[in-house]
Amino acid sequence: MRNICVIGTGYVGLVSGAGMADFGNSVICTDIDRKKIEMLQAGEIPIFEPGLKELVDRNVNASRLTFSADVESSIRDAEVIFIAVGTPMGENGEADLKAVEAVAKTIAKNLNGYKIICTKSTVPVGTGARLEALIEQEKESEFEFDVVSNPEFLREGSAVKDFLIPDRVVLGVSTERASDIMKAVYRSLYINETPMVVTNVPTAETIKYASNAFLAVKISFINEMANLADKVGADVHTIARAMGLDGRISSKFLHPGPGYGGSCFPKDTEALVFTGAQHGVNFQVVKAAIEANKSQRNVILAKAKELVPDLKGKTVAILGLAFKANTDDVRDTPALEIIQGLEAAGASVKAYDPIAAENMKKFFLPNLDTRDSVLETVRDADLVIILTPWNELRGLGLKDLKEHLNAPNIVDARNILSVEQLKEFGYNYRNVGRSNI
């Protein structure tokens, strides 16, 4: 068992802290946001993530997981300190490391023994060396420390499973001492023979960006194939399935739609391009994926205008606001640009999302007309656009739904509805990569 402090109780920090406690470690999750800490101490979870409350409650009840707003004391009490604060995208695409550097300075002021300072936040290559120099400069004692990179690979909506049963654990270390302690942190996974990639810090930092950029390329690629399929009468689902049967390709992330969003892919691809430019490397493939993803929003808007050429004065029902199902995250969600495009064309928009509606209004569209149910949203609509593949939307009763609409027009941007039923019940429809089958 190791004494661990996780600084930052956002998506990554909270899941990671609870997960490491579940591995038998003693974990303090700390944050300068007192309201968030008070919520956690009261048993409330500030983010929506399936299974997270159960994981947190289990480890709080076992006295392995605690929460504190006293960051400095939490640092002093820990042997391993995980930095899990935000690294948002800056103006030029670079990762904004202000929060990470502020945490590093606080750690330096409270170095009261040997400690491992581990970056869990997604940071560009070279950050480990940067933090090491900063802490060395700021520290007020002679105690030694090691900077480690331990990138996260958590998918929103299945993050708890991803942490507890990961495909791999990446550890970027520079000393044998740090390596041994980090393996002890993940001892439960080590015993279960989870692949451990132990490498140097720059390699570990790069692995995270390489993984996310490659997946973003796959998404952008299949969306472009879907756009071709629409033109030639092909079925992109069959194309993706046949591609996925090739072991060199695999079926993962070959799902066409309105483009990727969320907190990782948009900023990580931009950050990788920025880092490449700093070192004289032109990431042409990643740049193309970024541009293709931006264009995909316009593809969905174009499909809407194919069904309703003049949107002025028309009512459009948006079903799904989160960038993916099983999360309340609306950062870089395709829904934002699509709604703005519809409103710019003169349409009146009503929207429904079972989880993310409040966040969309809070962070981006305060005047958005959100409703509490699908039927309330689609009533008297001239067009329905499905943007998030929530399970409840997969089971829409198309026959009954039609009775509530002004006109039976649907853009299924997630391909979750039955094409046969859309035809049977007389809908005018567009989807992604199978509109003409």
Beta bridge partners of 117: 81, 147
Q: Where are the beta strands (DSSP E) in 107-249?
A: 115-119, 145-149, 169-172, 196-199
Q: Yes or no: say if 356 and 327 are a contact pair by the CB < 8 Å rule.
A: yes
Which residues are within 8 A (CB) of 371 and not within 5 positions of it... i.e. 6 or more apart? 350, 351, 352, 377
36-45 exposure pattern, b = at least 16 Cβ within 10 A, e = fewer: bbeebeeeeb
Distance in angstroms (rounded) separating the CA atoms of residues 330 and 320: 10
| H or E stretch covering 26 | strand 26-30
Which residues are within 8 A (CB) of 413 and not within 5 positions of it... i.e. 6 or more apart? 257, 258, 300, 303, 334, 385, 386, 387, 431, 432
Q: Look up residue 257 and give its DSSP letter.
A: S
Q: Look up residue 154 and give its DSSP letter.
A: P
26, amino acid identity:
S
Distance in angstroms (rounded) separating the CA atoms of residues 48 and 359: 11
Distance in angstroms (rounded) separating the CA atoms of residues 349 and 342: 8
Reading the block at residue 211, the tokens are 């993984």
| CA R_g for the chain | 24
Distance in angstroms (rounded) separating the CA atoms of residues 183 and 324: 33
> Catalytic residues, which ones?
264
Q: Yes or no: say if 22 and 58 are a contact pair by the CB < 8 Å rule.
A: yes
Beta bridge partners of 88: none
